[in-house]
Amino acid sequence: MDLDALAFPVIDGHNDLPWERRETHGSGVEGIDSETDSLHTDLPKLRAGGVVGQFWSVFVPVEEPDPVRTTLQQIDLAHRIVERYPDDLALARTAAEVRAAVGSGRIASLLGAEGGHSIGDDLAVLRVFARLGVRYMTLTHNDDTPWADSATGARAHGGLSDRGREVVAEMERIGMLVDLSHTAPATMRDTLDVATRPVVFSHSSTVAIDDHPRNVPDDVLARLADNGGVVMITFVPKFVSRAWADWEEGGATGEPPLVTVSDVADHVEHARDLAGAAHIGLGGDYDGTPVLPPDLRDVSRYPVLAEELRRRGWGDADLRALAGGNVLRVLEATDDRFARTALVH
């Protein structure tokens, strides 16, 4: 299979299947090749959705008493999923390995850690995660870390602290992508001030369309072109629709507002208008949220978004860039350093 010949080859930035398997299947890996489950993600759905690459989140909640140990368990679970289905999945750390996986007819499986709490404020742990194939780390999750402000935390640091800048520098040194989803705007800006390599937002949308703390302000979007980074638009209703967010914040009484693929496309187009067509991607957050827009209800539905954008006049080149080409470019910009770090082959 030639990646460059595909019309909409999706490399998605964030999928929480490993945590969902931990919670609902005792960290078991059987049955992922079947559609009999109620989860958003399985192999038939990934194939139907045109997914050729997936960043599997090795997320653990901030409340975990031993986040390093639990993250290692999640890394192990992601590896076991890939190992259980070798005809369908291939572990990938670099753009070249993504292309090789796709060329062999398999879905490239990359790993991303969600939240700086996962490393226990220890750069040695960060380096171990990289050696195990973790390709990005989100600087925060829903709470501040000791060195960075979260979008939904107390914002005690005013952005990124000196220790936070040290973490970013070490991530760049070893080729791990800095993920700014979940961070406060001040953390986003402080990171862009010091970043020397492209950053990503693995699953965020835009403040201008939905003024939610988890979304990205216009001034940050406008800086992505100079940085070379990518914002990967998410499908989570409260990050996509202000009406849904208001309904949820008001107690979620009565019928919820309808959120559709058109709402997601509005975020995609706004991000394109501010950051440029070379700096946008997709991070659905499947299996990381209980509810999704009905027409994007599982990972088989990416073609619905492609059709909506074609209806709006998008051409093939921009669609391929959005689907996965842009994040592949970001990988290539950091692959040299990461390939020297990772032990997994």
- Note if 307 is an active site residue: no
Q: What is the CA radius of gyration of the chain?
A: 18
Cβ(24)–Cβ(42) below 8 Å? no
What lies within 8 Å, CB to CB, of 124 at 6+ separation is: none
Question: Residue 230: what are its φ and ψ, rounded to 5°?
Answer: -140, 135
Residue-wise burial string across 7-46, b where 16 or more C-beta atoms lie within 10 A, e elsewhere: ebbbbbbbbbbbbbbbeeeebebeebeeeeeebbbbbebb
Which one-letter amino acid corresponds to residue 115? Answer: G
- The residue among 284, 281, 270, 202 whose CA lies nearest residue 236 is 284
What lies within 8 Å, CB to CB, of 42 at 6+ separation is: 31, 32, 33, 34, 35
Strand duo 107-114 + 134-138: pairing? parallel
Q: Of the residues 285, 287, 298, 335, which is catalytic? A: 285
CA 59 to chain centre: 11
Q: Of the residues 12, 42, 97, 114, which is catalytic? A: 114
- Note if 149 is an active site residue: no
Q: Of the residues 79, 182, 267, 279, which is catalytic? A: 182
- Note if 345 is an active site residue: no
What lies within 8 Å, CB to CB, of 193 at 6+ separation is: none
Q: Of the residues 203, 267, 270, 279, which is catalytic? A: 203
Distance CA 92, CA 22 (A): 22
Output the six-digit token pair for 318: 């921009």
- Note if 141 is an active site residue: yes
- Note if 114 is an active site residue: yes
Active-site residue numbers?
14, 16, 114, 141, 182, 203, 285
